[in-house]
Structure 1
Amino acid sequence: MTEQFNAKSFMSGNSVALRLPKGLGVDPGLDWTVEWRGNDLVFQAKDRPKRKFNIDKVWGIGAGLGLQLRKPEDRVFEPSRRVWDETPDQPA
């Protein structure tokens, strides 16, 4: 059997609000769908919309900083020694 909690409704402006107990573990800020099913009032949490990246907020932010693209020769690295590169008969 599931655990039961008592909740209280109250007026909030022109709406009726329902205070949910902390023990239910409901996160604040969620959107809900609410419907009557017979004599039961059913609450279902809506899926949170995925956040979208807005390039317009950052486009051109680096202008005037003197940034330049990397040259291909700047991307060349000398290989470094690794433990697994050594053979047992060769000292490090």
Structure 2
Amino acid sequence: MGNEYRAKVFKSGNSVALRLPKALGFSEGDDVIVVPHDDGSFSLWRSEEGADVLLSLYGSVSEGFMADGHGDIEQMPRDWSAGDGDAAAA
């Protein structure tokens, strides 16, 4: 890992905001994607770097990942004959 930085959370209107150190390289007005993880941590990056982040994940999954298939995701059969063609209403 790299350097460790501390950030400050503060109230901004009816929201909370995170003040990031300038050393992280973000600028005022940067569009940022924040992804929360199940363990309570977060990942963030500039939105224009989204493709780079996605490509960096390629190969980070273990070789045996999903070797046994998708697991227990069986779905009930669907009756496609019913309805008026409006998929949103289903």
TM-score by length of 2: 0.47
User: Which of the two has higher C-alpha Rg?
Assistant: 1
TM-score by length of 1: 0.46
Higher helix share: 2
